[in-house]
Amino acid sequence: MIGAPLNRVDGPLKVTGRAVYPSEDLSFGQPLHGFIVEATIGHGRVTKLDTSRAEQAPGVRKVLTHHNVGKQGTPDMREGDGYARAYPVMASDEVRSYGDPVAMVVADTIEQARAAAMLIEVTYDITDGHYVLDGRESAAYLATSVNAGGPPEVGVGDFDGAMAKAPVKLDQVYTTPYELAMPMEPHNCLAVWNGDDVTVHVSTQIVKSARLRIAATLELDPEKVTVISRFVGGGFGSKLGVHAETILAVMAARMVGQPVKVVLTRQQMFHLNGNRAATKQRVQLGAERDGTLTAFGHDVTMKLTTGDDYVEQTATCGRGLYAAPNRRTVHRVVELDLPRSEDVRAPGEAPGLLAIECAMDELAYTLRIDPIELRIKNEPMKHPETGAPFSDRKLVECMEEGARLFGWEKRPVIPGSMRDGRWLVGYGMAAAIRPHFQYETEVRVRIDSRGAVVQSDMTDLGTGTYTIATQIVAEALGLPSERVHVDLGHSDFPKSGGSGGSWGACNTNTAAHRACVDLRQQITNAAVADVKSPLHGLDAGAAAWTDGRIVIGNASEALTDVLARLYPTGIEAIGKIDTERPNEKQPYALNTYGAHFAEVRVDADTGEVRLHRMLGVFVAGRIFNAKTARSQLLGGMIWGVSAALHEEAVVDPRYGSFINHDLASYLMPVHSDIPNIEVVILDSFDDKANELGAKGVGELGICGAGAAVANAVYNATGVRVREFPITIEKLLPGLP
């Protein structure tokens, strides 16, 4: 069962429209609707809020402003779970960035709420803000911390001395733009109060954190808050923490005494949710003439939202990738008055590998060495900084197998030398690496004569959590998949680390597996001790559970009979991952790996870039479901193509707003941009990660994918673009 390409167990519900997403639960009747009014300045204060016309508009029940929302909690920056911190909204007249909520209209219908919102008159006292990274590098300072807990700066050996002595040097700056997570389902919340208790139906990736954030913001006892998130229509990191839509929905529902629903428009999502910060990345490589790296440097400068502490871990991805005795990786930040940065899929690795893997490609051309050969030559035997052994590292195998399958030997060695009519043809490749995380998680498994029920507050973003949990428990208990029911996304269930950081599947399934092991032991021991059982007196340690039966040697008994006789009301167990980040408590460097290969065509006259084909070869331990894993990796690769060629949120330097704040102007790939993409997953079992041998795959596909495309563009044209995304305007001047 484990590894099989089982169809999604929740698929029939979704394709027939019977899957109830958070804002769609109407079991308590029709809710009122809230529409948020956003600030139209980048920095300053609200001096006047005239809501009189809005309050008199048809259907309007309430207008929320900073005058009436009441006291809210203050964020505690010492809170280790940043998603659980208080998130005050409209707590004062201050506008910290463009799009800050200044009011919300609650009305009978969304149309009435939106129409009334347009009637609110807001006057501001505008103060100077800083909105642009360019020109403010002198204000950069060393970050005090970075996301995921790594140190902001790491130095090994004598980096400056090694760079000065290196026979071959590369020193280049690569820039990446602001990017946004745009899940299919907009951010939304439906809040229902019952006395002093509130039930919050919200699209979130971490139920536990959502509950704590709501409680901290409204200064409630967390036990008074119930969070439900059965289905989530995508998140990509943007729903790890709840935002203004949730806080305002909960406050409004309490004020009007009725359920209130708030669903963001697509345009509102650009400013009311987090973004990936723009970066300037200086990569310095020092090498011998045979390609052996002697120095590795990665210095990242990025935006930090004023008053916040979120810093993407962009310079960490190279720390365990290539061997070099002298190293320096640094995160510097510049405070800007822009909407808050948060996790966007593969934070750190996605932009960081775009720079590192392009730099390695440049070094390979400088040395006239095959890019794969250069990477293999610098393959570390242990972690280059910590000295920890790698648990299961097959990066070289990924590159070699990918080269064989892709036909890498056919690549043009001289850039710009291969044509197909009007098209310049190029090949590129890049390596992928991503750490494997685990967090404290509990899963309850209950079994009776009807089957097994699995419960956790874990969420399913559409990645297949319901399905793979079904597979794990079905195999562990020897049941057919249709006799396993998985129940997720409720704060009354055992707590998990949620769905994010590629840790969700392994956390949930490791804990579920441990619960099943506990159940098997209890039930088998009881059967062996029962004189009515044909297993009586046999060796419980030799038992196998298969096809709905407990088998010991030549004796067996149906599991339903055992349960009906010994546990007529059922029996349950809770499996746990007990220690936060256990992988950091053991002496192994735990990562997933991959290699990307891309072939592009570039129009020699117009500079138009077309992806022709792409291959990703990955290793991520044991795979729970071949179909859902492949889907996740494909999606990540497509995201990488987008980062290389399409995505860029552009800031208006006058107002601190994103100019292209809709999906018509914020470009992402469409079907015609993505032709033949293939995924190959190598067999693996990482027993250092967990007893299931599995590691996360959700974000691995994006890591390095953009660099493979960018390197292919250079190979096709001889034009190296270091300012992403690669557009016609940047390519055309350099084309022959």
| DSSP string for 174-216 | EEE-BB----SSPPEEEEEEETTEEEEEE--S-HHHHHHHHHH
State pLDDT tens for residues 83-122: 999 999 999 999 999 999 999 999 999 999 999 999 999 9
Q: Provide the annotated active-site residues.
A: 699
Count of beta carbons in the 10 Å neighbourhood of residue 654? 10
pLDDT value at residue 578: 79
* 622, two tokens: 């044991």
**Collapsing DSSP states into helix, strand and coil, what is residue 520?**
helix
**Rounded-to-integer distance, Cα 593 and Cα 584, Å:** 18
Nearest to 544 by CA among 611, 601, 477, 480: 477
Q: Where is average pLDDT lowest: 457-461, 576-580, 630-634? A: 576-580
Distance CA 375, CA 372 (A): 5
CA–CA distance, 570 with 398 (Å, rounded to integer): 46
> Using one digit for the tens of pLDDT, what is the confidence trace for 438-491?
889 999 999 999 999 999 999 999 999 999 999 999 999 999 999 999 999 999
> Could you tell me where the DSSP H helices lie in 368-454?
371-377, 395-406
Q: Residue 580: is its pLDDT beyond 60?
A: no
Q: Which two tokens stand for residue 398?
A: 């990924």
Percent of the chain scored above 70 by pLDDT?
Answer: 99
- The yes-or-no verdict on residue 566 having pLDDT over 50 is yes
Asked whether the predicted pLDDT for residue 584 surpasses 50, the reply is no
Check if the beta carbon of residue 602 is closer than 8 Å to that of residue 716: yes
Alpha-carbon distance of 433 to 696, in angstroms, equals 12
Quick one: pLDDT at residue 582?
A: 45
Q: Please give the pLDDT value at position 697.
A: 96
Residues ≥6 apart with Cβ < 8 Å to 315: 146, 281, 298, 299, 300, 329, 330, 331, 348, 352
**What burial class does residue 318 get, using C-beta atoms within 10 Å of its C-beta: 0-12 exposed, 13-18 middle, 19+ buried?**
buried
**Is pLDDT at 583 greater than 60 in this prediction?**
no
In the sheet that holds 121-126, the strands lie side by side as 94-95, 44-50, 121-126
**32-38 vs 260-263, strand pairing mode:** parallel
pLDDT of residue 78: 83
pLDDT in tens, 283-328: 999 999 999 999 999 999 999 999 999 999 999 999 999 999 999 9
At residue 146, the pLDDT reads: 96
On the question of pLDDT at 634 being above 50, the answer is: yes
Query: Is pLDDT of 79 > 90?
Result: no
| Mean pLDDT computed over 190-211 | 98
Q: Kindly state the tokens that stand for 400.
A: 């070699």
Task: Tell whether the model's pLDDT for residue 277 goes beyond 70.
Answer: yes
pLDDT at 77: 86
What letter would DSSP give residue 3?
B
The model carries a pTM of 0.96
H-type alpha helices, 75-226: 110-117, 159-165, 207-218
Structure tokens at 726: 């690669």
Residue partners of 172: CB distance under 8 A and separation at least 6 = 282, 283, 359, 362, 722
pLDDT-derived band at 80 (thresholds 50, 70, 90) equals confident
pLDDT of residue 540: 97
- Under 8 Å between Cβ of 654 and 361: no
Express each pLDDT in 144-159 by its tens digit: 999 998 899 999 999 9
Q: What is the pLDDT of residue 131?
A: 97
Residue 120 CA to residue 556 CA, distance in Å, equals 74
pLDDT digits (tens, 9 = 90+) for 498-512: 999 999 999 999 999
Q: pLDDT, tens digit, for every residue of 333-378?
A: 999 999 999 999 999 999 999 999 999 999 999 999 999 999 999 9
Name the band, by pLDDT with cuts 50, 70 and 90, for residue 587: confident
What is the distance, to the nearest Å, from the Cα of residue 271 to the centroid of all Cα atoms in its chain?
A: 19
The mean per-residue pLDDT over the stretch 658-662 comes to 97
The pLDDT, as a whole number, for residue 586 is 56
Pairing of strands 94-95, 44-50: antiparallel
Mean pLDDT value of segment 650-677: 96
Buried b (16+ CB within 10 A) or exposed e, 541-562: eebebeeeebbbeeebbebebb
pLDDT of residue 352: 98
**Confidence at 515, pLDDT banded by 50, 70, 90:** very high
Percent of the chain with pLDDT over 90: 96
